[in-house]
Amino acid sequence: MRVTLLIAWREYMENVKTKGFWIGVLLVPIVFFLIFHVSSRLATATPTRYYLLIDQSGEYAQAVETAIRREHQRRIMQDFMRYLQENRLDADAASFRAEPSSQLNQLLDNFDNDEVAALDQWLVSGGLDYALTMAQPYLRDDAPEFTEPRPQFVAATLPPEVDPEADAQDIVEQLRPYLNGERRINVDGDSASLFALVLIPEDVDQDIVRPATIQGLMTPDAGPRGVQYWAGNLTDTRLSGAIQNSINSAIRQQEYASQGIDIAAVRDVQRTRLPLSRLDPGKEAGEEAVSLADTFRQWAPMGFVYLIFISLMQSVQYLLSNTIEEKSNRIIEVLLASVTPGELMMGKLLGIGITGITTILAWIVSFFVFIRLYQTVETAMIVQVLDVLLSSDLIPYFVFYYLCCYALYAGIFLAIGSLCNTLKEAQSLMMPLMAVLVVPILTMSFIAQDPNGTLARVMSWIPLFTPFTMMNRAAAQPPMVDVIGTTIVLVLTTAAVLWLSGRVFRQGILRSGQPPRVIELWRMVRRSAS
Amino acid sequence: MSAPILELTDVTKRYGDFTAVNKINISIPQGSVYGFLGPNGAGKTTTIRMILDILRPDEGQIQVLGASSAMKVRDRIGYLPEEKGLYKKMKVWAIIAYFATLKGMNRRQAKDKAYALLEKYGLHDFANASVESLSKGMGQKVQVLSSIAHDPELVILDEPFSGLDPVNQEVLEQLIRDLSANGQTVIFSTHVMQHAERLCERLLLITQGSKVFDGTVDEARAIIPRRIVLETRDNISPIRSLDGVLSVQEHPVDDDTRLPGTRQWELYVKEQTDPQLILQHCFESGVSLSRFDFTQASLHDVFVHLVGQEAREHNFR
């Protein structure tokens, strides 16, 4: 036992000194930082797009401009709501709902329930100026100034040489250098690159598609139909989408009017809805409503499966590379004169296992530190979710399946490592095992959706998949027979694998030359039995 | 004589049809320096691995320090394997201390001992260097030190001299003498007969898995009859018939500076025959000599004599 611990300690200390370990440990905090910090910066950093709108029909320019303004107001409102939630006097997300109703809460409630209505109200009340005045008394003293988001789309002035009344073809030809980036357009005295040209031809109404004229689409037509959207960047579809939506809604309003339907009534009808309550039959009466936390709890096991998988992948690297280092550097022989192969193997399993656990703990700690440092709406939600998680029975499941999974696969990978002299040899032996390991990852979301279905139940009984599958099912109260049965099979298999690996390890560790074929492997297992 | 520290009885190891070690019997007394000699592939390393219980013999018994398995007394044995290697990223002192702690020393003692050994054998400046920064020879020295740091009663060194420059070979010879002076038993294997000749009290010579010689260096030398080479133009029959002369062979003279008619003879003489007597007889019988060489057989000659042919065949098989 003493030497096993010594080996484990050395193994651990050497792993902790490697670059790979620190990359693994720092990966999660870096990813968190990127997700919550850089991505929000990136979103605000999206450049303002300048477009030209030439409406020869004279019918739609107003609608488009209104729609784009409205979209900008919606973004302001959205940012403001977020700003408000983060900087309220009482930023505790759980308790502010209980406060007596105020205009502020009214606004927030509206925003949560019906964004369209909230936006209407926002615009009617006077937009940001009104909201800022109203919110001022409720903001914390140290609240930062609210910064308005930059407009995403700004209409540019038409270059003087272009005649908006000219033939559509000519306009496009004249503006082509601007669209290609060869020339820059003038915007309030500054030059900017033209993002898109929206050209609404005079006879655009002829191209309106109605159910009755749907066959018209089928006839091959040489020229472009409807509104022409010219842009070099076709991946950013926000502007084209906004234009299409605004024009279509304008056309529909015309249609309603022409058919004598009250537009206001239609608008109301369109916003009519019936909520759907998601209820859980497994819960106490009165508490059946499925909350966000409940939903999260159903999906949380998938996160744990990932965690097991990633940690296992990291440990596998250490198991293989450290064993192969000892083999290829011939350290193994000195070790075997001091310790038994069994002690060596257990020491390695232990040392590398603790390395894996250290990494996971480091992730968890950095996660908590992160939540403390970045108090935003999202992290407030994560805190809520964590409470749910910690109070659930998922953690013991995770600990158990993590350890079993590690012991099971580590045994196999150690045996592989003991048979190979180079990482290259090991990789070819690892291939089949890697293919096996991909299966639980591929089936993960299917199992999460149908945790007690046939696929989930069958996979649970295959020991190599048991830890992943049962972890994935943990939140769905799997039948007792599955829980107990698969646990027994898993524990027995793990014990058998470790025992067999010990035999292969004992024989393989002094081998040199090519990795053995299957039949040799069998002989090795039998030989070490004698 | 005290009880043997190591005793092998009819130890045999086979790999399939190939017999790597065939019924080896040896008994090594405490405090001796014992050499394992033999050509490549003779079974030295396999024998050593069996002594250490890294491999199990198929037949026979091994008694190490009074135990039936080296594993039971592993803390009292030090081992340097033939193929040397260390953890590349570890510091020099740490690796010596690590192996010593595996052998039961506590951390504090092991660290002190590591520094003391590095100081004693001229590696003090490298104590905090990482192993990968060392030259091959230095690495080997570090490994030798790591095998003896826990003051083992029995030290087994497999080819300790290979890869060392002459200066470091001397350092290592001195280290082996120090161990022996300290009452520790040293077994080492080597190809280089000079080391064995200088260090060993007893030798084991094996070839193709079988023991061909086990005894003192003097006993080994006695295996080859003593040799006298003489060159003369005269008839040597008076000498041929002398009592101590076992056999006579003629060799061609390849030196042009000799007088025409000179012939070279090689006389094999009995162990106790005094070469002075032969020389005296030559004078008395009027045999005029142009050359008279008397050579004591070296261990090298013994080695080649005992295993030469087999070793050549084996290596080119």
Question: What are the CA-CA distances from residue A81 to residues A111, A125, B288 (Å)?
Answer: 8, 15, 124
Q: Is B21 on the interface with A (CB under 8 A)?
A: no
**B186 forms bridges with which residues in the sheet?**
B33, B155
**B268 forms bridges with which residues in the sheet?**
B227, B247
pLDDT tens-digit readout, A57-116: 888 888 888 888 888 888 888 888 878 777 776 644 444 444 444 666 666 666 666 777
Say what the pLDDT of residue B157 is: 92
**Number of continuous H segments (helices) and E segments (strands) in chain A:** 21, 6
Q: For helices B136-148 and B92-102, give the axis angle rounded to 10 degrees.
A: 30
Could you give phi then psi for residue A138, rounded to 5 degrees? -95, 0
Say what the pLDDT of residue B2 is: 63
Closest-CA residue in chain B for A17? Answer: B89
Question: What are the CA-CA distances from residue B287 to residues A444, B236, B283 (Å)?
Answer: 102, 7, 6
- Which of B15, B73, B102, B105 to substitute to test the interface with A, most A CBs within 10 Å? B102
Contact call for A10 and B146, based on CB within 8 A: no
Integer-rounded Cα Rg, in Å, for chain A is 32
CA dihedral A453, A458, A464, A466 (to 10 degrees): 50
End-to-end CA, chain B: 43
Distance CA A377, CA A40 (A): 13
Residue B310 burial (CB < 10 Å; 0-12/13-18/19+)? middle
Could you give phi then psi for residue B83, rounded to 5 degrees? -95, 115
A–B: how many Cβ contacts below 8 A? 59
Q: Is the pLDDT of residue B313 over 80?
A: no
Look-up: residue for tokens 């193709």?
A: B208
Say what the pLDDT of residue A449 is: 84
Say what the pLDDT of residue A219 is: 56
Say what the pLDDT of residue A112 is: 67
For chain B, the domains span: 6-221, 226-296
Closest-CA residue in chain B for A344? Answer: B102
Look-up: residue for tokens 């304008």?
A: A250
Q: Is the dihedral of CA A54, A60, A62, A68 positive or negative?
A: negative
Q: Which residue has the higher pLDDT, A203 or A510?
A: A203
Q: What is the mean pLDDT of residues B74-103?
A: 89
Distance CA A394, CA B91 (A): 43
Say what the pLDDT of residue A96 is: 46
Which region among A271-280, A463-472, B88-97 has the lowest average model confidence (pLDDT)? A271-280
Which region among A174-178, A388-392, A443-447 has the lowest average model confidence (pLDDT)? A388-392
Q: Is the pLDDT of residue B1 over 70?
A: no
| Mean pLDDT for chain B overall | 85
Q: Is the pLDDT of residue A215 over 60?
A: no
Contact call for B101 and A14, based on CB within 8 A: no
Strands B6-15 and A185-187: unpaired
In Å, how far from its chain's centre is CA A342? Answer: 43
User: For the domain B226-296, what is the CATH superfamily, name and number?
Assistant: MTH889-like domain (3.30.70.1340)
| Mean pLDDT for chain A overall | 81
Q: What is the mean pLDDT of residues B120-130?
A: 89
Nearest Cα of chain A lies from the Cα of B146 at a distance, in angstroms, of 10
CA angle B242, B247, B249 (to 5 degrees): 120
pLDDT tens-digit readout, A223-233: 677 888 888 88
Say what the pLDDT of residue B279 is: 85
Task: Decide yes or no: CATH 3.40.50.300 for domain B6-221.
Answer: yes
Q: Is the pLDDT of residue A420 over 90?
A: no
What tokens were used for B220?
A: 């080994």
Q: Which amino acid is at A197?
A: L
Nearest Cα of chain B lies from the Cα of A513 at a distance, in angstroms, of 15
Look-up: residue for tokens 């599958």?
A: A469
Distance CA B114, CA A478 (A): 57
Q: What is the mean pLDDT of residues B276-304?
A: 82
Q: What residues contact residue A385 under an 8 Å CB cut-off, 6+ apart? A: A292, A293, A296, A300
pLDDT tens-digit readout, A117-130: 778 777 887 788 87
Q: What is the mean pLDDT of residues B293-306?
A: 79
Q: Which amino acid is at B215?
A: G
Say what the pLDDT of residue A45 is: 66
H or E, element range at A199: strand A194-200
Say what the pLDDT of residue B173 is: 92
Three-state SS sequence of chain B: CCCCCEEEEEEEEEECCEEEEEEEEEEECCCCEEEEECCCCCCHHHHHHHHCCCCCCCEEEEEECCECCHHHHHHHEEEECCCCCCCCCCEHHHHHHHHHHHCCCCHHHHHHHHHHHHHHCCCHHHCCCEHHHCCHHHHHHHHHHHHHCCCCCEEEEECCCCCCCHHHHHHHHHHHHHHHHCCCEEEEEECCHHHHHHHCCEEEEEECCEEEEEEEHHHHHCCCCEEEEEEECCCCHHHHCCCCEEEEEEECCCCCCCCCCCEEEEEEECCCCCHHHHHHHHHHCCCCEEEEEEECCCHHHHHHHHHHHHHHHHHHC
Q: Is B93 on the interface with A (CB under 8 A)?
A: no
Instruction: Using an 8 Å CB-CB cutoff, list residues of chain A that contact chain B.
Output: 3, 6-7, 10, 14, 17-18, 325-326, 328-331, 333-340, 510
Closest to A328 measured CA to CA, from B85, B114, B176, B192: B85
Q: Which residue has the higher pLDDT, A101 or A193?
A: A193
ipTM of the predicted structure?
0.76
Q: Is the pLDDT of residue A23 over 80?
A: yes
Neighbour tally for A53: CB within 10 Å: 20
Distance CA A444, CA A371 (A): 27
Q: Which residue has the higher pLDDT, A501 or A137?
A: A501
Say what the pLDDT of residue B116 is: 93
Closest to B38 measured CA to CA, from B279, B314, B258: B314
Which region among A131-135, A229-233, B28-32, B77-81 has the lowest average model confidence (pLDDT)? A131-135
Percent of chain A whose predicted confidence (pLDDT) is above 70 = 85
Say what the pLDDT of residue A120 is: 79
Q: Is the pLDDT of residue A5 over 50?
A: yes
Tell me the chain A residues in contact with residue B86 when contact means C-beta distances shorter than 8 Å. 329, 331
Question: What are the CA-CA distances from residue A273 to residues A114, A115, A269, A270 (Å)?
Answer: 10, 13, 9, 8
Q: Is the pLDDT of residue A29 over 60?
A: yes
Q: Is B52 on the interface with A (CB under 8 A)?
A: yes
> Do B251 and B228 touch, CB atoms closer than 8 A?
no
Q: What is the mean pLDDT of residues A10-21?
A: 87
Contact call for A6 and B80, based on CB within 8 A: no
Does B226-296 match B6-221 at the fold level?
A: no
